[in-house]
Homo-oligomer: A and B are copies of this chain.
Amino acid sequence: MSGSASRSQRPVTLTEVARLAGVSISTASKALNGRNEVAPATRERVMDAASRLSFSPNPLARGLLAGRTGTVGLLTSDLEGRFVIPILMGAEDAFGAGQVSVFLCDARGDTIREQHQLRALLSRRVDGLIVVGRQTDPRPSLGQDIPVPVVYAYAPSDNPDDLSLTPDNVSAGRIATEHLIAGGRTRIAHISGDPEYAAAQDRAIGVRQALTAAGLELVAEVFSEWSEGWGRDATAQLLAQHPEVDAIVCGSDQIARGALDTARDLGRIVPDDIAVIGFDNWEVLTTNARPQLTSIDANLQQLGRTAAQRVFAAIDGLDVGSGTHQLPVRLVIRGSTLARR
Contact = CB atoms under 8 A, between A and B. Distances in A.
A307 to B, nearest CB: 12
A59 B284 contact: no
Given A11-B147, A81-B82, A89 B101 contact: no
Interface stretch (A30-38, A41-49, A111-119, A238-246): A111-119
Contact of A61 (B11, B64, B122, B282): B64
A153 interface: no
Interface string A127-149: 00000000000000111111111
A94 B260 CA distance: 42
Interface string A283-317: 01100111000000000000000000000001000
Nearest to A2: B150
A105 B228 CA distance: 33
Contact of A120 (B98, B124, B149): B98
Nearest to A311: B1
Contacts of A314: 1, 4
Interface string A205-247: 0000000000000000000000111001000000000000000
Among the interface residues A67, A141, A147, A161, which one has the most CB atoms of the partner chain B within 10 A?
A: A147
What is the oligomeric copy number?
2
Contacts of A144: 2-6
Contact of A60 (B64, B119, B121, B321): B64
Interface residues of A, number: 85
Interface string A87-104: 011001000011001111
A123 interface: yes
Among the interface residues A67, A101, A227, which one has the most CB atoms of the partner chain B within 10 A?
A: A101
A99 to B, nearest CB: 8
A106 interface: yes
Interface in A59-94: 59-61, 63-64, 67, 69, 71, 74, 79-82, 84-85, 88-89, 92
Given A254-B284, A288-B227, A1 B321 contact: yes
A320 interface: yes
A289 B257 CA distance: 10
B58 A123 contact: yes
5 contacts: A1-B161, A61-B64, A101-B103, A101-B124, A257-B288
Pick the 4 closest A-B CB pairs, nearest first: A81-B85, A81-B81, A228-B288, A98-B120
Interface of A: 1-11, 56-61, 63-64, 67, 69, 71, 74, 79-82, 84-85, 88-89, 92, 97-98, 101-106, 108, 113, 116-117, 119-125, 141-151, 157, 161-163, 227-229, 232, 254, 257-258, 261, 282, 284-285, 288-290, 314, 319-322
